[in-house]
């Protein structure tokens, strides 16, 4: 998937085309279509310093943390803002994927990242996929001290997380 800037018509290539990642390509806008029309189209992906945040066709928001990043309070605020923007004032399901080699600044664990954010207005349920015991234990510890207004759970694999998210988004779907 590529992102098109509404004002300039520039395509930005993402991870599906690694040989072009980080490059931009100008695309002429048709004369009969203004940048204003493009601006009202919903954005489907946002890149932050820590992650690529995407909203798929089912309105599920995927947060794919980049390998090797160091989580910070500021970086997580950027990810949260991207999620809020993609949710478009509607509580959605979120699936966050955490790679093994991710690290964090210590103040990440003692900050309430949702305090004063009305997170339930854009988050209905949140699943974290990680296969490291340390990340699971840190998520559980954090969730004990900083409660959320929405269900939050960690999983070893994406299929299990997706099934749990579907169950919470549509209780009739679980059988």
Residues with Cβ within 8 Å of 33's Cβ and at least 6 positions away in sequence, in order, are none
Same domain membership, residue 79 and residue 17? no
Asked if residue 78 and residue 36 are part of one domain, the reply reads: no
Domain containing 34: what range? 1-41
Both 59 and 105 in a single domain? yes
Closest CA to 49 of 28, 29, 26, 65: 65
Quick one: 26 and 36 in the same domain? yes
Residue 112 and residue 152 in one domain: yes
Whether pTM > 0.85 for this model: the answer is: no
pLDDT tens for the chain, 175 residues long, are 444 444 444 444 444 444 445 444 455 545 554 444 344 344 489 999 999 999 988 889 999 999 999 999 999 999 999 999 999 889 999 999 999 999 989 988 888 887 878 888 899 999 999 989 988 888 888 888 888 889 999 999 999 999 999 998 876 554 3
Q: Are residues 26 and 111 in the same domain?
A: no
What's 137's domain CATH number?
3.40.50.10600
Instruction: Assess whether 94 and 147 both reside in one domain.
Output: yes
- The answer on 91 and 36 residing in a single domain is no
The per-residue DSSP string of 81-122 comes to HHHHHHHTSS-EEEEEE--TT-EE-GGGTTS-TTTTS-GGGT
d(Cα 65, Cα 71) in Å, to the nearest integer?
Answer: 9
Q: Is 19 helix (H, G, I), strand (E, B) or coil?
A: helix
Tell me, yes or no, whether 59 and 97 share the same domain: yes
Radius of gyration of the chain (CA): 17
Count of domains in the chain? 2
CA–CA dist 156, 81 (Å, integer): 26
């Amino acid at each position: 998937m590529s992102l098109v800037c509404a004002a300039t018509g520039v395509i930005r290539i993402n991870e599906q085309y690694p040989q072009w990642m980080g490059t931009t390509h100008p695309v002429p806008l048709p004369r009969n279509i203004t940048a204003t029309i493009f601006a009202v189209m919903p954005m489907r992906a946002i890149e932050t310093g820590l992650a690529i945040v995407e909203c798929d066709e089912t309105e599920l928001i995927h947060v794919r943390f980049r390998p090797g990043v160091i989580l910070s309070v500021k970086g997580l605020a950027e990810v949260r803002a991207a999620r809020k923007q993609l949710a478009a004032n509607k509580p959605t399901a979120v699936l966050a994927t955490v790679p093994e080699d991710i690290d964090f600044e210590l103040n990440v664990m003692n900050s309430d990242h949702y305090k004063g954010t009305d997170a339930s207005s854009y988050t209905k349920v949140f699943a974290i996929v990680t296969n490291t015991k340390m990340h699971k234990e840190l998520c559980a510890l954090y969730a004990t001290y900083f409660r959320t207004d929405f269900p939050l759970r960690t999983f070893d694999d994406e299929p299990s997380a997706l099934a749990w998210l579907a169950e919470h988004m549509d209780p009739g779907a679980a059988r």
